[in-house]
Amino acid sequence: MFTLGRLTLYVAALVLIASLVEAWVLSRKRPGEFDWGEVGLSLVDLFGRKLLSLIPFSLAAPLFAFAWDHRLFIVTIHSGLAVLLLFLGQELCYYWYHRSAHRMRFFWATHSVHHSPNQLTLSSAYRLGWTGKLAGAAMFFTPLVWLGVQPKVVLAAFSINLLYQFWIHATWIPRLGWLEYVLNTPSAHRVHHASNLEYLDANYGGVLIIFDRLFGTYTREQDDNPCRYGLVAPVRTRNPLVLEFQQWIELGRDVLSAKTPWAALGYLVRPPGWRPDGASQSTEDLRREAQCRETEMAGIGHGLLDSKARN
């Protein structure tokens, strides 16, 4: 009998095989350059996450239960309109989850694992971090449950969203014309994974890119500015435990050393790189520093030109 569980197993196998085929092809095209170690870390992350999923705990579970107990309606997905509304609602929730995962350090501690590969391949798609369930990332979808969508339906829609994103982790698929205005494409997602200062904190969409365009977080891939993948401070470790927990250890150290409760809270909910002493290295701070350097260099250049003109 063909069951949902068997379908899930087939899809997982297909994803795994496709990623390994791509890795083999890329390694043949780029001998000595392709890093199989990155693929290995993604595989360890995948299998470790499957084992940890057996732990019956999620920070989002009690929130889902409370929202379902106090739901406003009972939504049945029995029509095309209902499916469309669920899709759009799920996309909006995913956008704010993903944006928060980059802009709040508590959620970044898990999500940074997904951005740690220094090369972008299909295998990067399933390097998601071991602590997402424990950190309660699914809590961002609670509004859908409160409106009356069954939690299992919400989680299924989230899984389909993530499955769509598998193919957009390819670097060999070009821009897709008018689809770039509507969908989250490989080009848009390459920008999302890039650590170039110009590309940071952009393109948070799941299937759609329209919410990025609506909320001002869309950035287009530029031919003259190739994407550099990985974190701003590249991860070089091959130790999966370091990869999975380093951000959490650093966050815990900062929270425990905070001099005030507000500083401790700031470490949790402010962007990565924030510090209470003003020595922050958030995206905004890095861009301000770069702008200052450009202004200084422009001033020096104008000064040299003026000096030459006087002479």
Q: What are the structural domain ranges in the chain? A: 4-244
- Please state, in angstroms and as integers, the Cα–Cα distance from residue 220 to each residue in 6, 175, 217, 283, following that order: 39, 10, 10, 18
Confidence of residue 276 (pLDDT cuts 50, 70, 90): very high
DSSP SS3 for 269: helix
Query: Higher model confidence: residue 303 or residue 90?
Result: 90
Residue 309's pLDDT is 57
Mean of the per-residue pLDDT values of the chain: 93
pLDDT tier at 9 (50, 70, 90 boundaries)? confident
Question: Which tokens go with 30?
Answer: 């780029």
Residue 229, strand partner residues: 194
Q: What is the pLDDT of residue 303?
A: 58
Q: Is the dihedral of CA 303, 306, 310, 311 positive or negative?
A: positive
Which residue, among 58, 158, 84, 8, has the nearest Cα to 75 in the 3D structure? 84
pLDDT beyond 60 at 133: yes
- Confidence grade of residue 6 (pLDDT, cut at 50, 70, 90): confident
Give the per-residue pLDDT at 55: 84
Q: What is the pTM of this model?
A: 0.93
State which amino acid sits at residue 284.
E
pLDDT, position 279: 87
Phi/psi of residue 194, nearest 5 degrees: -75, 145
For Cα atoms 109, 156, 89, give the angle at the middle one, nearest 5 degrees: 80
- Contact by Cβ (8 Å): 92, 85: no
| Distance (Å) of CA 162 to CA 140, 212, 219, 248 | 15, 17, 21, 24
What's the mean pLDDT in 292-306?
69
Report whether pLDDT(238) > 80: yes
Report whether 195 contacts 229 (CB < 8 A): yes
Q: Does pLDDT of 304 surpass 60?
A: no
- Could you tell me if 193 and 91 are in contact, meaning their C-beta atoms sit under 8 angstroms apart? no
What would the mean pLDDT of 280-287 be, rounded to a whole number?
A: 92
- The pLDDT > 70 percentage for the chain reads 94
Of 28-37, 88-97, 182-191, 208-217, the poorest mean pLDDT is in 28-37
Q: What is the pLDDT of residue 192?
A: 98
| Cα dist from 302 to 290, 291, 292, 295, whole Å | 18, 16, 15, 10
Average pLDDT over residues 258-276: 97
pLDDT at 286 over 80: yes
Distance from C-alpha of 240 to C-alpha of 52, rounded to nearest angstrom: 14
- Are the beta carbons of 113 and 233 closer than 8 angstroms? no
Q: What's the pLDDT at 211?
A: 98
Separation CA 258–CA 261 (nearest Å): 7
pLDDT confidence band for 296 (50 / 70 / 90): confident
Other CB atoms within a 10 A radius of the CB of residue 310 amount to: 6
Of 230 and 55, the one with more pLDDT: 230
Q: What percent of the chain stands above pLDDT 90?
A: 86
Among 267, 246, 270, CA closest to 255: 267
Query: Using an 8 Å Cβ cutoff, are 89 and 144 in contact?
Result: yes
Cα–Cα–Cα angle for 215, 267, 202, rounded to 5 degrees: 25
Q: What is the pLDDT of residue 300?
A: 67
Distance CA 239, CA 123 (A): 17
The whole-number pLDDT of residue 53 equals 86
Lowest-confidence pick of 38-52, 75-89, 249-263, 295-309: 295-309
Per-residue pLDDT, 23 = 98
